[in-house]
């Protein structure tokens, strides 16, 4: 069985995503993970275009990634230069990679109106550049930029540009849907026509402006194209590139073609998350295969079926791509979801356990009031364990007061919180604390009150604080949902509070955050409750 060649361009095309700027170290770390994933070719960037890419190619020479090959990317020579003296081609060779990829113009519009050269001169640029490089590099790929648009505008000329590359004896000619405007059927029809005229192996490079880059790439595979280009998470300029996190599992699991090993496929979700972290972009939860919600089930009927036969509502086993199943609890859940989550928390409940129906009713009532537990699993775990008698409250609120005061016209307002709590031994702790705002002051006062009894809470860090207005039409009387993300050295957790008073909603989420930390401490170290 032939192997599909995967060519990754995350470090070049992906870095053109709005808001993304990879450092040299980022690029090296991503390249290493891509090599571990089994990617055949890793496009490192455009040497000579900027100091960052020059530094990357210098450092990547020292990396022992035998299984993956690093490619340098650039354009055909400038019209004013000979190939031997062209700065771009010189920089490509100076990178000392065994693979070079260059692009040229396939669309007569670009040759005549963008480069301002004749069509014949454009063919000379392509042939001269490729023939010069091919004598000096092991593997040479040619990206036929805007090929499909060029073919539709002037098919005879577009094919001539490919023939110029063919005459230079490149390793592969990559047909590019640079504007991302093609439909998969149109891609297929043009590929069939090109295959009758070009004998060099063909590749596909699709952009996602019509949300069809993955479909177009897979369509190309059906017509014998075995070189696929794309990026991790579909990153790229405008709407992005073909998403390798969808293409690779579709090749392996749906088309039954070889591209990476089964063990490497299990790394896919981790690599997807890793790249999004270094790109400083939020990982898309609904991304197929690797998204956090790709195998998340919420409806009661779905959950019940999944527990019996996983493939009833899952097209693959999530572990094949390194992902995992999630059962969400909401007002759409049934008792099966409660039982499933309870088992995750170490509780042996059944659908007939009285607490299960009680919990289900409570979930539905709370969601009616505005709570949402999908993004606040720590709050839900506390609720389950309290209902099952597996956790008791470690402190009780006697009362709190928050004051916001502005003393001078040109100064920021000051916030002060006073709090009184009762500990399990009946002792009363009363403290006060200032803060940058009322919620920060309340958080500081609560920690201060509990510090002597439960010093482990010093490890808790408040990572994120989100506010959502639930019923906007109520104006200033609308309910507020507060989501708090907290964490310690072991990782983060999320809690929720809801009230028409934002301070009260924040208090609920803060208390759950602290109680969840104490629950973890009790499970790990036997904290007395």
Residue-wise pLDDT tens digits, 30-73: 999 999 999 999 999 999 778 899 999 999 988 777 689 999 99
Claim to verify: residue 266 and residue 202 sit in the same structural domain: yes
Between 109-113, 354-358, 514-518, the lowest mean confidence (pLDDT) is in 354-358
- Cα separation, 206 vs 36, in Å, equals 24
Within a domain: residue 383? no
Q: What one-character-per-residue DSSP string does 360-420 give?
A: HHHHHHHHHHT---TT-HHHHHHHHHHHTTS---S-EEEEEEEEEE--STTSPPEEEEEEE
Q: Which of 173, 203, 35, 12 is nearest to 95 (CA)?
A: 12
Q: Where are the alpha helices (DSSP H) in 63-111?
A: 87-94, 108-109
- Most confident option among 119-133, 294-308, 427-441: 119-133
Q: Token pair of 327, please?
A: 């059962």
Question: Has residue 286 been placed in a domain?
Answer: no
172 close to 203: Cβ distance less than 8 angstroms: yes
Label residue 410 by pLDDT band (50, 70, 90): low
115 and 73, same structural domain? yes
Could you tell me the CA-to-CA distances from 182 to 239, 240, 266, 365, 428 in Å, in that order? 14, 14, 32, 49, 70
Q: Label residue 423 by pLDDT band (50, 70, 90).
A: confident
H-assigned helices in 50-167: 51-60, 87-94, 108-109, 119-134, 147-153, 155-167
pLDDT tens figures, 197-240: 999 999 999 999 999 999 999 999 999 999 999 999 999 999 99
Digit-coded pLDDT (tens) for 77-96: 999 999 999 999 999 999 99
- The domain tally of the chain equals 3
Residues 204 and 273 in one domain: yes
Percent of the chain with pLDDT strictly greater than 90: 64
Given a contact cutoff of 8 angstroms between Cβ atoms, the answer to whether 505 and 498 are in contact is yes
Is the distance from CB of 224 to CB of 235 less than 8 angstroms? no
Q: What is the CATH number of the domain that holds 419?
A: 3.30.160.270
Task: Give the pLDDT of residue 336.
Answer: 73
Three-class SS string for 277-322?
HHHCCCCCCCCCCCCCCCCEECCHHHHHHHHHCHHHCCCCCHHHHC
Average pLDDT score, the chain? 90
Which residue range forms the structural domain that includes residue 320?
Answer: 296-369
What whole-number distance in Å separates Cα of residue 483 and Cα of residue 504? 13
Residues 164 and 25 in one domain: yes
Residue 524 has pLDDT above 80, yes or no: no
Residues 130 and 222 in one domain: yes
Residues 68, 186 share a domain = yes
Q: What CA–CA distance (Å, rounded) separates 268 from 230?
A: 14
User: 305, 310, 313: which is closest to 334 by C-alpha?
Assistant: 305
Q: 382: closest CA among 486, 294, 455?
A: 486
Helix (H, G, I), strand (E, B) or coil at 206: strand
Give CA–CA dist 461/397, Å, rounded: 21
Residues 79 and 145 reside in one and the same domain = yes
Same-domain status, 194 and 265: yes
Query: What tokens were used for 201?
Result: 């192996």
DSSP-derived 3-state class of residue 54:
helix
At 455, list the tokens: 């010093």
* Alpha carbon 165 to chain centroid, angstroms: 36
């Amino acid at each position: 069985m032939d192997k599909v060649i995967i060519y990754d361009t995350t470090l070049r095309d992906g870095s053109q995503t709005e808001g993304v700027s990879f450092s040299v170290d980022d690029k090296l770390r991503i390249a290493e993970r891509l090599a571990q994933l089994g990617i055949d070719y890793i496009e490192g960037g455009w040497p000579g275009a900027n100091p960052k890419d020059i530094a990357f190619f210098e450092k990547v020479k020292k990396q022992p990634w035998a299984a993956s090959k690093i490619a340098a990317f650039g354009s055909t020579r400038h019209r004013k230069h000979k190939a031997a003296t062209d700065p771009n081609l010189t920089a490509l060779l100076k990178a000392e990679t065994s693979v070079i990829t260059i692009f040229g113009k396939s669309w007569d519009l670009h040759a005549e109106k963008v480069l301002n050269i004749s069509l014949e001169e454009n063919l000379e640029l392509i042939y001269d550049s490729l023939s010069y490089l091919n004598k000096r590099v092991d593997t040479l790929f040619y990206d036929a930029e805007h090929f499909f648009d060029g073919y539709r505008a002037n098919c005879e000329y577009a094919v001539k540009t490919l023939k110029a590359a063919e005459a230079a004896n490149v390793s592969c000619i990559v047909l590019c849907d640079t504007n991302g405007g093609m439909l998969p059927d149109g891609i297929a029809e043009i590929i069939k026509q090109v295959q009758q005229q070009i004998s060099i192996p063909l590749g596909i490079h699709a952009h996602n402006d019509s949300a069809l880059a993955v479909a177009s790439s897979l369509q190309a595979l059906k017509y014998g194209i075995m070189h696929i280009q794309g990026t991790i998470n579909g990153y790229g300029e405008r709407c992005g590139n073909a998403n390798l996190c969808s293409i690779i599992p579709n090749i392996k699991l749906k088309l039954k073609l070889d591209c990476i090993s089964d063990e490497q496929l299990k790394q896919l979700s981790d690599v997807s998350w890793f790249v999004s972290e270094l790109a400083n972009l939020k990982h898309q939860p609904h991304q197929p295969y690797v998204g956090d919600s790709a195998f998340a089930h919420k409806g009661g009927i779905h959950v019940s079926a999944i527990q019996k036969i996983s493939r009833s509502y899952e097209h693959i086993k999530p572990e094949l791509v390194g992902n995992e199943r999630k059962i969400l609890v909401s007002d759409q859940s049934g008792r099966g979801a409660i039982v499933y989550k309870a088992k995750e928390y170490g509780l042996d409940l059944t659908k007939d356990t009285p607490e299960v129906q009680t919990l289900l009713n409570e979930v539905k009532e709370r969601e009616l009031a505005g709570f949402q537990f999908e993004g606040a699993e720590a709050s839900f775990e506390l609720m389950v364990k309290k209902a099952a008698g597996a956790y008791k409250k470690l402190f009780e609120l006697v009362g709190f007061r928050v004051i916001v005061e502005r003393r001078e016209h040109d100064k920021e307002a000051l916030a002060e919180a006073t709090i009184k709590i009762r500990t399990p031994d009946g002792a009363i702790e009363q403290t006060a604390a200032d803060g940058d705002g009322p919620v920060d002051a309340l958080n500081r006062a609560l920690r201060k009150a509990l510090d002597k009894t439960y010093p482990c809470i010093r490890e808790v860090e408040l990572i994120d604080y989100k506010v959502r207005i639930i019923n906007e039409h109520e104006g200033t009387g609308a309910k507020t949902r507060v989501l708090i993300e907290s964490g310690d050295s072991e990782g983060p957790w999320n809690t929720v509070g809801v009230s028409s008073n934002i301070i009260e909603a924040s208090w609920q989420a803060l208390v759950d955050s602290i109680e969840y930390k104490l629950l973890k401490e009790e499970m790990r170290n036997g904290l007395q409750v």
